[in-house]
Structure 1
Amino acid sequence: MSLSETVSKIDGLSDEEQECIEICNEATQTSEWCADECLGMEEMEECARMCRDVADITSLHARLMARDSDYSGHLAEACAEICEACAEECSQHDHDHCQVNAEVLERCAESCRSMA
């Protein structure tokens, strides 16, 4: 069963919430990938740090949304902010992993902002 099929089975989530969980999970994965690819390149340390922060917050936000936490909306704003900042950082680099991550994070920021 795919992640989207699993998420769609969670009772009480709107389509918008399901979509946000999915994009947060995608952002977690691409940010971990980007951070891992940046390791060992001194000029990419800030990018790697930001990507790790994004991976942590997007993962947490997805989990809070899945359990209908009262704190999910508060975290959504922070999630959107860090996704935007990391997307800006990643977009400055020519590496494929940075460009892919920047695109995913822009969509994640937009989705999280709508949840805030």
Structure 2
Amino acid sequence: MALQQITHLSDEQRDCLDNCLEATQACEWCADECIDEGEGMERCIRLCRDVADVASMHARFMARSSSYSDDLAAVCADACEECADECAQHDHEHCQVCADVLRDCAESCRNMASA
């Protein structure tokens, strides 16, 4: 509901902002769950934490119509793609869900960066 109140955003920007917020949540959840999975999950945890920070920042930049938003969109897309590739290598449900969410986020951020 709040996203509809931000009138300066196009539908594509709203979709990207929503995907970034979902990626933030999925990555925070995945990183937390990976801690309990034990050894061998360090890279997944680090990448998820990076994406959560970058995606959250990108969402905030879009909401305030920052001139840096397009540049950050490219960084966010790269981080999402790398993290999705890492998550996809693990059979854990949280990793698989996270990978799917991140692929959607990467696509919408890529569209924003190339617009």
* RMSD over equivalenced CA pairs, Å: 0.6
Partner of residue 72 from structure 2, selected from 71, 75, 90: 75
Counterpart-to-counterpart distance in 1, 2:43 and 2:78: 16
Partner of residue 24 from structure 1, selected from 3, 20, 23: 20
Letter in 2 for 1:37: E
Counterpart-to-counterpart distance in 2, 1:42 and 1:7: 39
Question: 5 Å matches for 1:50-65?
Answer: 50-65=47-62
1:92 and 2:89 are equivalent in the alignment: yes
Partner of residue 3 from structure 2, selected from 1, 7, 15: 7
**Which runs of no fewer than 5 residues in structure 2 stay unpaired?**
none
State the identity %: 61
For residue 98 of structure 1, report the CA deviation from its aligned partner: 0.1
How does the TM-score come out when normalised to structure 1?
0.95
How does the TM-score come out when normalised to structure 2?
0.96
Letter in 2 for 1:56: D
For residue 12 of structure 1, report the CA deviation from its aligned partner: 1.0
Q: Give 3-state SS (helix, strand or coil) of 1:13's partner.
A: coil
After TM superposition, the structure 1 stretch with the greater mean CA deviation from structure 2, 56-65 or 41-50, is: 41-50
Counterpart-to-counterpart distance in 1, 2:63 and 2:110: 17
